[in-house]
Amino acid sequence: AQKVTQAQTEISVVEKEDVTLDCVYETRDTTYYLFWYKQPPSGELVFLIRRNSFDEQNEISGRYSWNFQKSTSSFNFTITASQVVDSAVYFCALSGLLDTGRRALTFGSGTRLQVQP
């Protein structure tokens, strides 16, 4: 079985603050993939990043950065200099083998980020 935990239910920051969204996962797979998705108020899921379990190099994309630490089973997401448009629900997800032997995404419960002007 696999599990993704996003302990922060809701975070509120003021524009231009940095914010880190936490994600901790559990899996018995040796090969797996981790994702972050953004869900704006309109509801669709927007893919942000995918990392595989063999690549622990941190990644930066503009104001977004991701810190993958296999030793602590964490894949945290940091937004630098947050903007109002960053307000959304952010989901961390894990692609690994289900008990049925099939591979599918398991999502965390999401973190709602509100960026105040």
Partner 1 sequence: SQTIHQWPATLVQPVGSPLSLECTVEGTSNPNLYWYRQAAGRGLQLLFYSVGIGQISSEVPQNLSASRPQDRQFILSSKKLLLSDSGFYLCAWSSDRGGPEDTEAFFGQGTRLTVV
Q: Where on the chain is the footprint of partner 1 (CB under 8 A)?
A: 6, 33, 35, 42-45, 47, 50, 52, 91, 95, 98, 100, 102-110
Tell me the C-alpha distance between 71 and 83, whole Å: 31
The pairing of strands 10-14 and 111-116 is parallel
- Pick 35 or 68: Cβ nearer partner 1: 35
Q: 73 or 80, CB closer to partner 1?
A: 73
Q: Shortest Cβ distance from residue 16 to partner 1 (Å)?
A: 28
Shortest CA distance to 13 belongs to which of 63, 73, 59, 81?
81
Assess contact for 92 and 78: CB atoms under 8 A.
no
Closest CA to 36 of 84, 78, 96: 78
Name the residue nearer to partner 1 (CB basis): 14 or 98: 98
* Nearer CB in complex with partner 1: 1/60: 1
> Least distance from C-beta 113 to partner 1, angstroms?
14
